[in-house]
């Protein structure tokens, strides 16, 4: 059974353990030397790996989404751990426990889904509530919604992560709408519920997390734009101006052209949605970095999503607080002695 996990790998360590093959491709260096690049994963994360010598024979023995047994050496390259594989073979199903390989939200997805239905029911605008109901109760969407991650790598990248992210974002929207009463809370909540629904088809998540052909070609923004537009068109009398606002929130929620939004947020609720989505995404990435055991001292390993290492502030504060606590204890003891002596 599996013993070493991605999150616990250390530099220069030699490991023999099991992984799920998330990606597999033959590449070449600038000098023309070919090698096999694979991305391996388990429930704690992913790690890039390379096979340099004899990779043709090894590559033929397994495919993407296979479980494999690996003997490899851990190295650090550009602030990230990677594996140099010495041996690799396809693993039999009876050698592995699937729970070791598939990261999943710690929450109960059925309870998360029920909370989402309650949020939808709280929307007072009848057009928006009907639109949201048509999406979150769609029998083709519900099972995917309960399984899907929110991203491949960047944030909430685990089963049920999308539902967890959407609920977290809805809670942020409610809090911010209370702070800015001029904002249309129904419109903002609708954007939160719908903003990533295209990821249900953009991402593949039966085993390893990846992209579908549709996802590679279109991306989730275009996928959800079409899906939600069809849902609005199916509601007789849906106000055309409201339809445009919903569509704009979907296509602008990434906030910047370089991040894939064809338009910048151009009204209050669209701008709020972008910043709150960005906030929740970054907090999810930060949480993942802190949960990982990788890193040195008070610092996490480099986070690609955040483009930095993260200080483990609780550990940092505990270290700086310890001497003061000792000094304080000594002062109390000294003070007690003086008081006692004085009373005598």
Six-digit token pair at 85? Answer: 């594989």
pLDDT for residue 235 is more than 50 = yes
The pLDDT value recorded for residue 326 is: 47
The pLDDT value recorded for residue 246 is: 98
**What's the topology of domain 109-290?**
Hypothetical protein af1432 (1.10.3210)
Report whether 21 contacts 68 (CB < 8 A). yes
> How high does pLDDT run on average in the chain?
85
Q: How many CB atoms lie within 10 A of CB 24?
A: 19
- Range list of H helices, the chain: 55-59, 109-122, 126-136, 142-147, 161-179, 185-194, 199-202, 213-233, 240-252, 268-291, 313-343
Distances (CA, A) of 185 to 143, 181, 215, 288: 27, 8, 30, 30
The residue with greater pLDDT, 49 or 336, is 49
What are the residue ranges spanned by the domains of the chain? Answer: 6-100, 109-290
pTM over 0.85: no
Report whether 96 contacts 113 (CB < 8 A). no
Q: How many CB atoms lie within 10 A of CB 103?
A: 20
Beta-bridged to residue 70, according to DSSP, are 17, 88
pLDDT, mean of residues 48-54? 84
Six-digit token pair at 248? Answer: 């704009």
pLDDT, mean of residues 322-344? 46
pLDDT for residue 210 is more than 80 = no
Cα gap 234→134, rounded to integer Å: 9
SS (H, E, C) 34-49: EEEEEEEEECCEEEEE
Q: How confident is the model at residue 239 (pLDDT cuts 50, 70, 90)?
A: very high
Q: What is the DSSP string of 220-268?
A: HHHHHHHHHHHHHHTSTT--HHHHHHHHHHHHHTT-SGGGT-SS---SH
pLDDT for residue 53 is more than 70 = yes
Beta-bridged to residue 89, according to DSSP, are 69
Cα gap 53→87, rounded to integer Å: 10
Cα gap 95→193, rounded to integer Å: 40
Which pLDDT tens digit goes with each residue over 28-43?
888 888 888 998 988 7
Percent of residues, the chain, with pLDDT higher than 90: 42
Closest CA to 43 of 9, 67, 23, 20: 20
pLDDT, mean of residues 135-161? 83
Cβ neighbours for 261, distance < 8 A, ≥ 6 positions apart = 221, 251, 252, 253, 254, 255
**What's the topology of domain 6-100?**
OB fold (Dihydrolipoamide Acetyltransferase, E2P) (2.40.50)
The pLDDT value recorded for residue 22 is: 85
Same fold, 6-100 and 109-290: no
Cα gap 51→27, rounded to integer Å: 10
Report whether 51 contacts 88 (CB < 8 A). yes
The residue with greater pLDDT, 188 or 9, is 188
Closest CA to 57 of 25, 89, 27: 89
Which residue has 């694979």 as its token pair?
A: 38
Q: How confident is the model at residue 155 (pLDDT cuts 50, 70, 90)?
A: low
User: Residue 269: phi, psi to the nearest 5?
Assistant: -70, -35
CA angle in degrees (0–180, nearest 5) for 106-108-109? 110
The pLDDT value recorded for residue 339 is: 44
CA angle in degrees (0–180, nearest 5) for 79-82-88? 180
Closest CA to 101 of 80, 70, 125: 70
Q: How confident is the model at residue 341 (pLDDT cuts 50, 70, 90)?
A: very low
């Amino acid at each position: 059974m599996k013993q070493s996990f991605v999150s616990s790998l250390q530099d220069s360590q030699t490991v023999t353990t099991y992984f799920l093959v998330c990606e597999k491709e033959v590449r070449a260096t600038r000098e023309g030397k070919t090698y096999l690049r694979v991305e391996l994963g388990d429930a704690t994360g992913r790690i890039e790996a390379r096979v340099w010598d004899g990779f043709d024979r090894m590559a033929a023995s397994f495919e993407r989404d296979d479980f494999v047994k690996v003997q490899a050496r851990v190295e650090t390259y550009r602030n990230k751990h990677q594996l140099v594989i010495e041996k690799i073979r396809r693993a039999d199903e009876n050698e592995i426990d699937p729970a070791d390989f598939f990261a999943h939200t710690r929450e109960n997805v059925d309870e998360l889904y029920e909370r989402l239905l309650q949020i939808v029911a709280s929307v007072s605008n009848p057009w928006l509530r009907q639109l949201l109901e048509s999406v979150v109760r769609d029998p083709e969407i519900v099972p995917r919604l309960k399984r899907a991650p929110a991203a491949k790598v960047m944030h909430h990248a685990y089963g049920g992560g999308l539902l967890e992210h959407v609920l977290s974002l809805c809670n942020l929207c409610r809090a911010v709408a209370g702070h800015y009463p001029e904002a249309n809370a129904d419109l903002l909540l609708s954007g939160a519920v719908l903003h990533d629904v295209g990821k249900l088809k953009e991402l593949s998540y039966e085993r390893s997390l990846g992209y579908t052909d549709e996802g590679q070609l279109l991306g989730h923004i275009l996928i959800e734009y079409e899906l939600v537009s069809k849902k609005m068109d199916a509601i007789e009398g849906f106000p055309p101006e409201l339809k445009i606002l919903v569509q704009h929130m979907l296509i602008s929620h990434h906030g910047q052209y370089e991040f894939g939004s064809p338009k910048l947020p151009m009204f209050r609720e669209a701008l709020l949605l972008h910043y709150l989505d960005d906030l929740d995404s970054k907090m999810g990435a930060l949480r993942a970095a802190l949960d990982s055991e990788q890193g040195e001292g008070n610092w996490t390993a480099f986070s690609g999503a955040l483009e930095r290492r993260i200080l483990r502030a609780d550990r940092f504060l505990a270290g700086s607080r310890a001497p003061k606590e000792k000094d304080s204890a000594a002062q109390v003891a000294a003070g007690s002695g003086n008081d006692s002596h004085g009373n005598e």
